[in-house]
Amino acid sequence: MPPESIKKRLTLILTSIALGILAACGGSGGGTSIADGGIRGTGSSVGPVSGFGSVFVNGVKFETRDIVNQRVQSNDEITTEGELEKGMILRVEGEWSSDGSGTANALSYDDTFRGPMTDLVLLDESTGEPGSFRILGQSISYDRRTVLRVDDDQLTEGMEVRVSAWRTGDGYRASYIGSVTTGTDFPLELEGRIDEVQLDAFRIGDQWVRGGQNVSYPGELTIDDIVEGALIEVEGDFFSPEGDVTAAEIRFSDDRRFLGDEGGDIELTGPVQFLSVADSSFALNGVPVVYDDETEFDDVARSRIADGLLVQVEGEIRSGRLYAEEIELFEGNAEVEAKVLTPFEGASENELNVGGVRVLITNKTLIDQDDDAQTSVKEAEFLEVEGNELEDENGTIYLEALNIEIESDDTDEYELTGRLPAKTYLPVGELTVLGVSMFYDETASGDEWRDCDVVSVEYRQVGGEFQVLEIECDD
């Protein structure tokens, strides 16, 4: 039987709707809702879309039936929920509960960038080293969690894309990259801080932007706000091929979509910036976050909070600051790439056995697929899963999935990355990583890995046992 503590995390009985979510082609953000110590709220929730069937954001399934025609507020020709994609950073106004259910009153979306990709460095699939590129002079990184919706699932130099991204200390981190398929009047979109202002132009990074009498200033920004240091968003077109940008619309930066109303609750996901341990504070998408001894750290140690770490914060806005009631890890620390095996005895509908690893699907899980695969996650034979390695009160290890990629591999060789138990007491020739007990040949494997905290293991199943092929450090 599965551990009782895992059962306790499953707070909703799987309905036919939830089963349909798991079985849907390409998957969605998971079926059963997970009670993870979250709080109830009414206000704003801003984060990447992880699934549909309504819309899943920040681990909450927001029902959208009360929104007329499921309309999305946007100036980027995305007008309805059906035009959204997984990975797009969406703002939801509504209410939510700790059981993972919610009701949306309004949805809003805005591209962070739109334009041609330059200086492309591809993601290293073998090591997981992030890739990078530039759009209109701004540096953007992407990784395995980034959702790609481009031709052949392959980025190419000069490709025209739209990007939904978070600001980081040294640029931006992409949550979504997609081919631009709409006939927008303003094909270019640029966000950033003004570095230099001249009489008829200004510079963001190394990209010059020209103004003019026909420039529109939607919202609160006026021409008097075009000053050095201002954080703005520009939409327009090239004045000359790959040269200066002619602005059609200029408004304050997208950062404002991350702000909440005074006294209101907000759920906010993004990478940590400007961490001050002394002040117990950091920034998240430009929003100052304050935490204290009353803040609940869910599945992440307070000491692990660091610049660049992707987290989800829930709390209340007071005087322009987000006072955190809960901080959760939104970054994977373990992964497995393997065949889907016979389910564990007594496993629930949202638990999978992937290469011997117990994988738990939640509302936060973003399920994707590669190549031409049209198999649902419940029918898949081979999966790549990234998530958080957790341990229940009985000491059972499991992987709470953040990303699942459905693959078409048919190899019998698997790979996983996880913590090495503290100087394992298992006999020589046996170890356990991510809850998988494996046997290894000490002569062939060496012993350098024994001093590591995290290891990457290549292994295979032989009969009813797992056999290590290679072990190496992954610290």
Amino acid, res. 101: S
pLDDT of residue 408: 78
Cα angle 39, 42, 45; round to 5: 80
What is the Cα–Cα distance from 355 to 312, expressed in whole angstroms?
29
Residue with tokens 């939640």: 362
pLDDT of residue 369: 65
- Cβ neighbors of 273 (< 8 A, separation 6 or more) are 167, 168, 169, 282, 283, 284, 307
CB contact at 8 A, 315 and 327 = no
How do residues 414-430 score in pLDDT, each as one tens digit? Answer: 999 998 886 555 456 78
How do residues 387-418 score in pLDDT, each as one tens digit? Answer: 999 988 778 899 999 999 888 777 889 999 99
pLDDT winner (highest mean) among 97-106, 120-129, 260-269, 350-359:
350-359
pLDDT of residue 7: 39
What is the Cα–Cα distance from 459 to 454, expressed in whole angstroms?
16
Per-residue burial over 285-321, b if 16 or more Cβ lie within 10 Å, else e, is bbbebbbeeebebeebeeeebeeeebbbbbbbbeeee
Task: Map residue 114 onto helix, strand or coil.
Answer: strand
Q: Do the bridges between strand 321-329 and strand 296-298 make them parallel or antiparallel, or are there none, so unpaired?
A: parallel
Residue with tokens 């950033």: 192
CB contact at 8 A, 259 and 93 = no
How do residues 146-205 score in pLDDT, each as one tens digit? Answer: 999 998 889 999 999 999 999 988 899 999 999 987 666 789 999 999 999 998 899 999
CB atoms closer than 10 angstroms to residue 373: 17
Beta bridge partners, 390, equal 398
CB contact at 8 A, 361 and 22 = yes
pLDDT of residue 445: 57
CB contact at 8 A, 146 and 112 = no
Higher pLDDT, 375 or 345: 345
CB contact at 8 A, 221 and 252 = yes
CB atoms closer than 10 angstroms to residue 121: 14
Q: What is the CA radius of gyration of the chain?
A: 23
Kindly report the length of the chain.
Answer: 475
pLDDT of residue 164: 95
- Cβ neighbors of 351 (< 8 A, separation 6 or more) are 2, 6, 343, 344, 358, 359, 360, 361
What is the Cα–Cα distance from 353 to 361, expressed in whole angstroms?
11
Which one, of 402, 411, 466, lies nearest residue 440 by Cα? 466
CB atoms closer than 10 angstroms to residue 463: 6
Which one, of 401, 406, 405, lies nearest residue 387 by Cα? 401
How far separated are the first and last CA of the chain, in Å rounded? Answer: 33
What is the Cα–Cα distance from 175 to 57, expressed in whole angstroms?
13
pTM listed for this prediction: 0.85
CB contact at 8 A, 269 and 312 = yes
CA distances from 268 to 32, 98, 183, 326, 385 (A): 22, 15, 31, 11, 24
pLDDT of 279 strictly over 70 = yes
How do residues 1-23 score in pLDDT, each as one tens digit? Answer: 444 444 333 333 233 333 333 43
